[in-house]
Amino acid sequence: MSHHAERLQQITAMVDRHDAQLHRVVRRRGSRRPEIVDDACKYAWIQLLAAEHVDLRPPLWDALAWLTTCAVRYARMLNEAERHVAATESPGLTTLRIEPLPSNR
């Protein structure tokens, strides 16, 4: 099995075992909004795939700490971006709705 396939298999097992716990921690330390928590956790798992420097050998403490830090920071960044947008929106402006183009099938 290649290194990348093995790493993917390890991360898949970690998602199965630790994703609910990651969501709880991010909800407590990063954001209370479920959408932001989901986005932050997904972002962290994807980043872990690319972070070859993160050791995935048991007991996984370092990997889980790295993953949690990544997710919490991303959730806080999304919260801050949302607050910034809300603070800079003018009440007189209308929100632009973008509709998908009709398909020619």
Q: What would the pLDDT profile of 85-96 be if each residue is shown by its tens digit?
A: 888 876 655 555
Q: Give yes or no for residue 76 having a pLDDT over 70.
A: yes
What is the predicted pLDDT for the residue at 42? 98
Residue 93 lies in a domain: no
Q: What is the pLDDT of residues 35-75, one digit of tens each?
A: 999 999 999 999 999 999 999 999 999 999 999 999 999 99
- Residue 98 maps to a domain: no
| 32 part of a folded domain | yes
Inside any domain, residue 81: yes
Tell me the pLDDT band of 32, cut-offs 50, 70 and 90. very high
Number of domains in the chain: 1
Q: Which of 29-33, 83-87, 95-99 has the highest mean pLDDT?
A: 29-33
Residue with tokens 């097992």: 13
Residue 96 lies in a domain: no
Q: Does the N-terminal peptide bond of residue 59 adopt cis geometry, omega within 30 degrees of 0?
A: yes
Q: Is residue 104 part of a domain?
A: no
For position 75, what pLDDT does the model report? 97
pLDDT(97) > 80 = no
pTM: 0.81
Q: Is residue 102 part of a domain?
A: no
In the block, tokens 């798992």 appear at 45
- Residue numbers of the domain that contains 8: 3-88
Helices (H) and strands (E) in the chain, counts: 3, 0
Whether 64 is in a domain gets the answer yes
